A and B are shown apart, each in its own frame.
Chain A
Amino acid sequence: MTGDVSALQLVLSGDPGLFAIVRLSLLISLSAVLFAGLIGVPVGAFIALTLFPGREGVIVVLNALMGLPPVVVGLAVFLALSRSGPLGSWGLLFTPQAMVIAQTVLVAPIIAALTRQTIEDLWVEYRDELAAMNIGPAGRVATLVWDARFSLVTALLAGFGRAAAEVGAIIVVGGNIEGFTRTMTTAIALETSKGDLPLAIGLGIVLIFIVILINALAWAARRAGERTAG
């Protein structure tokens, strides 16, 4: 109970250390979702609208990748970015950029798989109409992505939820360096292990609040959009 009160005091007092961690966490997770969206939406749309040999297998693998273990992703990115790795010359290991890369790898399959399903379902519905209106391939993709935009927001939110909540990948590639790569989830893990429960609980409260807030905003935007677009 004492820990809960201290945690609330920490949050309400606007503790600069705590809010630096929050700021970095949001920057990393939102950047990862942005990059994952830029990769995942086109990939998902391509798979949804293109017939090619092995497509079913690709879909199965893509769906399976939604459950990628974060620590395995962290390890893979660590090996790629370590000095002896193929991307070692970039010098990104233990930086926020490395954490963005790891989360992007983690989130992109989720967005791609959900986009693939959404676009494919809409394509089944729209196929005849778009063919009758003589819409070309580029126009079809643009139409389907635009008309599926509210559902795609849900895919992005799922990606954000995954990114904001994960700790395994970013702690491996980021190193949890105070003031540099420490995020809410890595800080919660560290402070809990140290027994500093007020800070851990305070960060947990902020993390949950942010996730709820972003989902609420997205839900409100979706509802407003549906009122005009159906």
Chain B
Amino acid sequence: MSMHAPSHDLPLMFVEAGILAGEVTILDNISLTLNAGAPTVLIGPNGAGKTTLLRAAMGLIPVTHGRITWGGNETAAPARRAFVFQRPAMLRRSTEGNVHYALAAAGVPHGQRYDRAAELLTLVGLDGFGSRPARRLSGGEQQRVALARALARDPAVLFLDEPTASLDPHATKAIEDIVSNVAARGVKVVMSTHDLGQAKRLAGDLVLLHRGRLIESGPAAQFFADPRTEEASKFIAGELLI
């Protein structure tokens, strides 16, 4: 599998980007640069704007003001992006059928899909699950199918929206291992999580959001060792951000 982040797709930049829903501000003048490299993890309480930021970056929601650029290009976002939702919908097909569908959508020639699907299912630890109905798999297994579907696009950037929410520790570990593996292959991972431990384990960079505002961003090690803002200190300490 050829996974690498071509330099022309990154950095992904939010330039004073905002999203309004009626009169409610969902994202408030976000300026943020995501470079190639280790995963960037978005953290923050519920309603902070993490999912909206990821969806905007994916192009699923238009920004109300400001802009988002990819490698300096604003008009055409790269095709090689993929998204794994917090609760991914499984197509009413077999596990292998789900991956085949994603490969077809990504334009992979028919003759190559069988091998690619097998390769992807191996990568996410679902060897032997190919013929099983995807909708009957466990939550953790479905999340892995979603990852395989996303990777079928051979993405330069992979967005993960709380991929381990509601999973048990075993399933969480499996997903984290896949994320680390994918990131090591050169795919830029941008993910959200509520789990500070997970953020410590996976993040190269951290972004703290609160009420749609970017509170703090930077290298994860520095964030945890020496947070610059009161909100970040409270969040790390497990205090409620209200």
- Which residues from chain A sit less than 8 Å from chain B, CB to CB? 125-126, 128-129, 131-135, 139, 143, 147-148, 150, 226-230
Docked-complex contact A229 and B89, CB < 8 angstroms: no
Complex alpha-carbon distance, A43 and B88, angstroms: 28
Docked-complex contact A230 and B134, CB < 8 angstroms: yes
**Distance in Å: Cβ of A212 to nearest Cβ of chain B:** 27
**Residue numbers in B under 8 Å from A139 (CB-CB):** 105
Docked-complex contact A227 and B133, CB < 8 angstroms: yes
Complex alpha-carbon distance, A131 and B89, angstroms: 12
Complex alpha-carbon distance, A128 and B92, angstroms: 15
Contact partner of B135 (CB less than 8 A), chosen from A132, A133, A135, A230, is A230
**Distance in Å: Cβ of B65 to nearest Cβ of chain A:** 22
Complex alpha-carbon distance, A132 and B151, angstroms: 12
Docked-complex contact B89 and A128, CB < 8 angstroms: yes
Complex alpha-carbon distance, A131 and B83, angstroms: 10
Q: Specify the chain A residue showing the minimal Cβ separation from B106.
A: A133
**Distance in Å: Cβ of A228 to nearest Cβ of chain B:** 6
Known contacts A126-B89, A228-B131, A132 near B60 by CB under 8 Å: yes
Pick the most buried of B60, B90, B91: most chain A CB atoms within 10 A of its CB.
B91
Complex alpha-carbon distance, A125 and B58, angstroms: 18
Docked-complex contact B85 and A133, CB < 8 angstroms: no
Known contacts A128-B85, A132-B82, A133-B149, A147 near B133 by CB under 8 Å: no
Q: Specify the chain A residue showing the minimal Cβ separation from B102.
A: A133
Q: Specify the chain A residue showing the minimal Cβ separation from B83.
A: A132
Docked-complex contact A230 and B85, CB < 8 angstroms: no
Docked-complex contact B105 and A229, CB < 8 angstroms: no
Q: Is B140 in contact with chain A by the CB < 8 A criterion?
A: no
Docked-complex contact A228 and B133, CB < 8 angstroms: yes
Complex alpha-carbon distance, A132 and B84, angstroms: 9
Interface string of B97-118 (1 = CB under 8 A from A): 1000110011000000000000
Docked-complex contact B133 and A226, CB < 8 angstroms: yes
Docked-complex contact A230 and B102, CB < 8 angstroms: no
**Residue numbers in B under 8 Å from A230 (CB-CB):** 90, 92-94, 133-136
Complex alpha-carbon distance, A143 and B105, angstroms: 11
Complex alpha-carbon distance, A134 and B149, angstroms: 13
**Distance in Å: Cβ of B217 to nearest Cβ of chain A:** 25
Known contacts A133-B105, A135-B105, A228 near B94 by CB under 8 Å: yes
Q: Is B153 in contact with chain A by the CB < 8 A criterion?
A: yes
Interchain residue pairs with CB less than 8 A apart (7) = A132-B60, A132-B150, A133-B101, A143-B101, A147-B91, A228-B131, A230-B133
Q: Specify the chain B residue showing the minimal Cβ separation from A133.
A: B105
Docked-complex contact B91 and A134, CB < 8 angstroms: no
Complex alpha-carbon distance, A229 and B92, angstroms: 5
CB-CB contacts below 8 Å: B144-158 with A: 149-150, 153
Q: Specify the chain B residue showing the minimal Cβ separation from A132.
A: B83
Contact partner of B88 (CB less than 8 A), chosen from A129, A147, A227, A229, is A129
Q: Which 5 A-B pairs have the closest CB atoms?
A: A230-B133, A230-B135, A132-B83, A147-B92, A133-B105
Docked-complex contact A134 and B105, CB < 8 angstroms: yes
**Distance in Å: Cβ of B19 to nearest Cβ of chain A:** 16
**Distance in Å: Cβ of B185 to nearest Cβ of chain A:** 20
Docked-complex contact B89 and A129, CB < 8 angstroms: yes
**Distance in Å: Cβ of B6 to nearest Cβ of chain A:** 18
Docked-complex contact B79 and A134, CB < 8 angstroms: yes
